[in-house]
Structure 1
Amino acid sequence: MYRSEQFIFIGQKAVPIVIRNYKKEDFTQLIDLQVESFPPPFPQELLWNEKQLKNHINIFPEGAICVEIDGKIASSLTSLCVQFDPAKPKHSWAEITDNGYITNHDANGNTLYIVDISVRPSFRSLGLGKLMMQTMYHIVIEKKLDRLLGGGRIPGYSKYADKMSAEEYLEAVINGTLQDPVITFLLSCGRVPIAIVENYLEDEESCNYGVLMEWKNPFKN
C-alpha cells in the first residue's frame, strides 16, 4: 500500500500533506469531494456511490489514492488496469471502467487507466492533481506497464462548439490560443493526446467528447 508524506506551499507557508490509498473510512469524504468537484450540469448520477468505492478498494486498492491535508481529503484519483490496443483506441468511459465499478480490472493488462481525478475547488492550483498523477506514473513503472491512459473531459468546448470542431478546439488548447481546465492540466502533467472520442461521457460542458491522453512508460520500447 502507498503512503507518502510531503509538503506543499499554500501562500508562503509549507503545509504537510499525505498521499495515500483511500479506505472505507474515507467514503463519506470522497462522496462529498465528488459533489464539490463536479457540480451541475455534470450528471450527478455519475458521482461515486458507496458500492463503486468498495469495488475500488477491494479490486485494485493500489489504484485508489487520495491527498489528505490536516485530516481532510482534498483530492482523489482512481484507476484500473486494462488491455489496450493503440490500433483501436476509441471507447466510452462506461465501457472501459464498467461504469466506474471497475469489475473489468485486468491484473495482466498492459495499461493503467485513469477512471477519475477530483480536487476540491478550495484546494485547486496547489499542484495536488499533478502529485497524484506522478504517483500513478510510479505504478506504471513498478508494474512494467506500457502506458498510463485516460479520457480527459473538455469542459471549455461547449463555449466554442458552434465555432469550431473538437479537433480544432484541442489544437487551440495545445498551441495556447485557448485554455481548457482539464486538457491544459493534463498536458502540464506530461500526457499526450492520441484520439478524440465522440460520446465518451454524458457531459454537457464537453458536448460528450473526451480526449484520450497517454503517458508512455519511458523504460519500455
Structure 2
Amino acid sequence: MFKRLFVTDGVRMVPAVIRSYGFEDFEGLIDVQAKSFPPPYPSELWWNEKQLAEHVQRFPEGALCVEIGGAIVGSMTGLRLTMTDGDEHDWATVSDDGYIRNHEPDGDTLYVIDICVVPEYRKFGLGKWLMQSMYETVVHVGCRRLLGGGRMPGYSRAASELTPEQYVAQVTAGERTDPVLTFLLRCGRVPVGVVANYLDDEQSCGYAALMEWRNPFIDNDNEEAT
C-alpha cells in the first residue's frame, strides 16, 4: 500500500503518507512504540526486530505505517486467520506473541494486533486513517471482516457496578465514553463479544471487547461476493 493524503489537527494541514513498512523502517517503528508506550510500560513488550521481520515477510499487506515529514509517527499491524464467532482467545495466542507465525494466507479474518500513534500527532486523526487503510486492505485481499480485541481502559472504574458486557453496551449507547472503545466505534467498528484474560491489563480488568468491521463487498451470511 502507498497513498498520500493531507491531515489536520484543526489548525495545521500537513501532508502524510500511509504505506507498507519494510526492513528499513524497523528503527523508526520501535521508536514509535517507545513514544507511544513509555514507562512504566515494559520496553520488552515493544516490537522487536525479529517480530517486525515476521510481519514484513509473512503478511506485508497487514504491516502499515504513517509518515509525516519523512518520519514514522504511527503504525498498525494485523494477520489473517480463520475464525468462527465465539472463539475464545487472548492476545498472546492470536498474535503468536507478536510474531504472527500463525498467519494463514487464506484466512477469512484480518485480525488487528496493534495500532499506535505517537502522542505529538494524535490530534491529526492518524489512527482513524490507519484503520481506514486496513479496511481497504480487507477489501483488497478478500477477507470477510476485520476483527480485533479492543482494550477497555475505563472499565476498572465501573467494574464494581457493571459487568464488562454492560460496560460495552453503555459505551456503545453513548452513555459512557472509553478512550479505546469510543475511538473504535467512531472508526466504524462494532462490538461482537467480550473476552476475558485477553491482556494483563489492570485498567481493563483483563477484558477486551471484540470489535468487528465487515467487508461491505462480501455477503457475510453466505460468504459470496455480491
* TM-score with structure 2 setting the length: 0.92
Q: Structure 2: how far apart are the matches of 1:132 and 1:49?
A: 21
1:184 pairs with 2:201: no
* Cα shift at 1:191: 0.6
**Which runs of 5 or more residues in structure 1 are unaligned?**
none
8 Å Cα contact 2:81-2:108 kept in structure 1: yes
Deviations 1:109-163 (A, max 9, x none): 1011101000111111211111111111111112221100001111121222223
Amino acid in structure 1 at the alignment position of 2:204: S
Aligned positions of 1:67-106 closer than 5 A: 67-86=66-85, 88-106=86-104
1:206 aligned counterpart, secondary structure: coil
1:204 aligned counterpart, secondary structure: coil
Mean CA deviation greater in 172-181 or 48-57: 172-181
Amino acid in structure 2 at the alignment position of 1:196: V
Q: 1:208 to 1:76 in 2, by over 3 A?
A: same
Q: Structure 2: how far apart are the matches of 1:93 and 1:195?
A: 15
Deviations 1:1-34 (A, max 9, x none): x110110123333210000111222212211211
8 Å Cα contact 1:42-1:203 kept in structure 2: no
Q: Structure 1: how far apart are the matches of 2:40 and 2:158?
A: 17
Amino acid in structure 2 at the alignment position of 1:46: L
Aligned positions of 1:136-147 closer than 5 A: 136-147=134-145
1:50 pairs with 2:53: no
2:129 aligned counterpart, secondary structure: helix
Q: What do you get for the CA RMSD once the two structures are aligned?
A: 1.4
Q: Structure 2: how far apart are the matches of 1:106 and 1:137?
A: 18
Match of 2:112 among 102, 111, 114: 114
8 Å Cα contact 1:66-1:76 kept in structure 2: yes
Who is 1:61 aligned against? 60
1:162 pairs with 2:160: yes
1:19 aligned counterpart, secondary structure: strand
2:176 aligned counterpart, secondary structure: coil
Who is 2:213 aligned against? 215
8 Å Cα contact 1:91-1:197 kept in structure 2: yes
Q: Structure 1: how far apart are the matches of 2:147 and 2:49?
A: 25
1:32 pairs with 2:37: no
Who is 1:132 aligned against? 130
**Which runs of 5 or more residues in structure 2 are unaligned?**
220-226
Aligned positions of 1:192-211 closer than 5 A: 192-211=190-209
Deviations 1:179-208 (A, max 9, x none): 111100110111111110000111122111
Deviations 1:159-187 (A, max 9, x none): 22223221121122112222111100110
Q: Structure 2: how far apart are the matches of 1:138 and 1:105?
A: 19
Amino acid in structure 1 at the alignment position of 2:203: E
Amino acid in structure 2 at the alignment position of 1:106: E
Q: Structure 1: how far apart are the matches of 2:110 and 2:192?
A: 15
8 Å Cα contact 1:43-1:202 kept in structure 2: no
Q: Structure 1: how far apart are the matches of 2:49 and 2:195?
A: 29
8 Å Cα contact 2:156-2:205 kept in structure 1: yes
